[in-house]
Structure formats: C-alpha cells, structure tokens
C-alpha cells in the first residue's frame, strides 16, 4: 500500500496540521511516511499545501507530480491540483469558497461540507479534522487508534484537552462526506 496525497488550501485552515497528524499516525502504525509542506510567507490567508506519502514500503522520493488523492480547501488549489490527480484517483473538497466545482469524469470526487458543519457544531477549529475524517472513511490508510496517537504526538500538551473534540470531528467527517462523481 502506498498513498500519495496533496492537501491544499489557505494558511489558517489547518492544511499543514492535517498532513502532520496523518503523517504522525502513519509513523505510529510503523509505516513509511513523507511529509513535505509548502507555504507562502503569510501566517494566515496565503496558500499552503502539504504532500504526504504513507506506505508499507520505503519511499523513494517525496517529490510528486501526480497524486492518488487531492484534498482541496480553496479555489486556487482546485485550479492547480485537480489536473494532478491520477486517473482513477480521489479528489475530496469542501464546497465553501469553491466557485468552479471539479469536472473530471476519470476520478472519484467527494464533497465534505466541513466549514458549514464546524460552524454548526460551534467548533470552527476542528474544520480540518472533519475533512480528515471524510478522507479516512474513503481511504482508511491508518487505524483510528493510530490517529489518536498522531493527535497526541502532533498537538502540544496544552491542547491535549481538545483531542476528544478532534476525534468527534473526525467521526463527523466520516458521516457527512458524500459522492459527487463516483467511478464503478
């Protein structure tokens, strides 16, 4: 098993954190992992993306030009990364702020309205965990017990009280993700 993932959006959406939690979870499950962030100089509002590779085998390079999965959280990232999903691959997106929805017919497309759900439950800071939950429902590349360990490892100890909220958000994401275009 090797899963090559791009997670992309604006700074402040938890893009890098989502990738870091996924990467740590893979490490905790004794998988090979690569985590390569890319972001602008802005603290919030600039573009940010992270490439995560989780594999049962050694990873030869963290540099990718195409992806098994793209998790998209803004329009600029949709424009840039939709064409880079491998045929038969997976694109997950949050509909908030997307003006041109994905159009490809050769990939699986799922939508998770995480921003709306996070606002509805009053936990806007767990938006990214709702998205991560949707991804993990479709591609359970790490076990849920390892996601818990990944949260413990990646969140500072002063935020460990928020781990149950993050886990609830992950579970909620698994419930609300839905297909837009699903290949057989």
Mean pLDDT for the stretch of residues 161-174: 94
Please say whether the beta carbons of 111 and 97 come within 8 A: no
Q: Which of 67, 11, 1, 76 is nearest to 37 (CA)?
A: 11
- CA-CA distance, 136 to 157, in Å (whole number)? 24
pLDDT at 129: 96
Band (pLDDT 50/70/90 cuts) for residue 43 is low
Please say whether the beta carbons of 18 and 7 come within 8 A: yes
- pLDDT more than 70, % of the chain: 96
Residue 73: CATH number of its domain: 3.40.920.10
Give the global pTM. 0.93
pLDDT at 97: 81
- CA-CA distance, 155 to 138, in Å (whole number)? 24
**Domain count along the chain:** 1
- Give whichever of 37-41, 62-66, 110-114 has the largest mean pLDDT: 110-114
**Residues listed for the chain:** 184
Please say whether the beta carbons of 20 and 34 come within 8 A: no
Domain that holds residue 47: 2-181
- Whether 132 shows a pLDDT value over 70: the answer reads yes
- Record the tokens describing residue 82, joined without a space: 């939709």
Q: Which of 136, 113, 112 is nearest to 21 (CA)?
A: 136
């Amino acid at each position: 098993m090797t899963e090559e993932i791009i997670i992309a959006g604006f700074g402040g959406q938890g893009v890098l954190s989502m990738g870091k939690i996924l990467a740590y979870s893979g490490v905790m499950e004794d998988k090979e992992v690569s985590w390569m962030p890319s972001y602008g100089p802005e603290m919030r509002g600039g573009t940010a993306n992270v490439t995560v590779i989780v594999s049962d085998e050694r990873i030869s390079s963290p540099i990718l030009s195409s992806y098994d999965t793209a998790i998209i959280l803004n329009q600029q990232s949709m424009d840039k990364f939709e064409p880079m999903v491998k045929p038969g691959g997976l694109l997950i997106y949050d509909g908030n702020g997307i003006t041109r929805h994905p159009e490809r017919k050769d990939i699986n497309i799922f939508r998770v309205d995480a921003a709306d759900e996070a606002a509805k439950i009053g936990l806007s800071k767990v938006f990214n965990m709702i998205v991560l939950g949707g991804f993990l429902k479709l591609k359970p590349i790490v076990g849920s017990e390892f996601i818990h360990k990944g949260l413990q490892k990646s969140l500072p100890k002063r935020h460990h009280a928020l781990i149950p909220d993050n886990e609830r958000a992950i579970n909620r994401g698994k419930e609300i993700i839905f297909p837009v275009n699903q290949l057989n």
